[in-house]
Amino acid sequence: MGVLSNKIEREELKPGDHIYSWRTAYIYAHHGIYVGDGMVIHFTRAAGQETGTGTILDRVLFSSSPTNMGIVCERCGDQSKLHGVINSCLDCFLAGGNLYLFNYSVSSAFFLAKARGGTCTLAASDPAVIVLNRAKYLLDNGFGTYSLFKNNCEDFAIYCKTGLLVVTEFSLGRSGQLASFSAAISAVTSSPLRYLTTGAAGLTVLAGGMYCIGRYVSDIGIRRDVIKIPVANLVAQARIEGPAAAAAAEATIAATAAAAAAAVETTVATEVVMEAGATEMECCAA
């Protein structure tokens, strides 16, 4: 296990480990907390439907995800209808995929060397006994409503390990996978910066640098808009907020989409202005 891969063997697992397994040709990963005795506590919209976008994308990803082909696990039973925080055996959690260990307290150099998000963080993990207590408490009391953008399986696992929550209203969750996605969008929508350099090599370096910076500043171990919340307080607050919290999450998603659209419009407007200016200069020169 290292920079190239976080893959581990089952014999290496320890209770309290944050583990994950890639799904659907490495498009996304499902995360959970290993609690010992071959069992994993994890958070899902429904078994096999971890993406939870609420769009047709769910059907595409679900249709190509590993399934039990109608075979009910002797240890877990039929979990196909379950959702929220559930307890599954390793075989059901992995769904035919490989086993990987999420790293904590990594160096900045190691973090940036891992080009794919959702595999490590600069944040430190709490002791295993605290991690297990959080996971088991949330198994009994829930972790709110599943949301790909604000409250997903990686968010659940990271909270169990660190107790940290993002407190700003307009931001993505703690997920490194979403941070990578957001950083990639920023690199693409910031195309006006391409005028600062010429050539494919320069553009590649610029986009790569923006991607790395975006991932780095979004990491739970770096950002300043996080606080440590006891698990009992988290559950109590979720029960009070109820539907209002879900509505706020939807509003945040809409705001994020609007911001991305605005960035694209700005890009187009910039291109039009610059092209018009270039045309005017050519006319004047003529």
Q: What is the pLDDT of residues 213-224, one digit of tens each?
A: 778 888 889 888
- 30, 31, 120, 160: the catalytic one is 30
Active site (annotated) includes residue 42: yes
Kindly give the parts of the chain with pLDDT less than 70. 1-3, 46-70, 168-211, 241-286
List CB contacts of 259: < 8 A, sequence separation 6 or more. none
Q: What pLDDT is stored for residue 250 in this prediction? A: 47
Options 42, 76, 92, 160, the catalytic residue: 42
State the catalytic residue, choosing from 76, 92, 153, 160.
153
Report the alpha-carbon distance of residue 116 to residue 111 in Å, rounded. Answer: 9
DSSP-H helix ranges across 13-167: 56-63, 90-94, 108-113, 128-141, 153-162
Q: What are phi and psi of 51, to 5 degrees?
A: -70, -50
What pLDDT score does 36 carry?
97
What's the pLDDT score for residue 63?
Answer: 40
State yes or no: is 83 an active-site residue. no
pLDDT at 42: 95
Angle, CA of 205, 28 and 49, to the nearest 5°:
155
Q: What's residue 113's pLDDT?
A: 87
Looking at residue 282, what is its pLDDT? 56
In this prediction, residue 249 carries a pLDDT of 46
Q: How many CB atoms lie within 10 A of CB 14?
A: 9
E strand intervals along the chain: 18-23, 28-36, 39-44, 84-89, 100-101, 164-166, 226-228
pLDDT at 264: 46
pLDDT at 47: 53
Helix (H, G, I), strand (E, B) or coil at 41: strand
Q: How far separated are the first and last CA of the chain, in Å rounded?
A: 64
pLDDT of residue 247: 55
Q: How far is CA 147 from the centre of its chain?
A: 11
Torsion over CA: 63, 67, 72, 76 (sign): negative
Return the pLDDT at 268: 43
39 close to 89: Cβ distance less than 8 angstroms = yes
The predicted model scores a pTM of 0.70
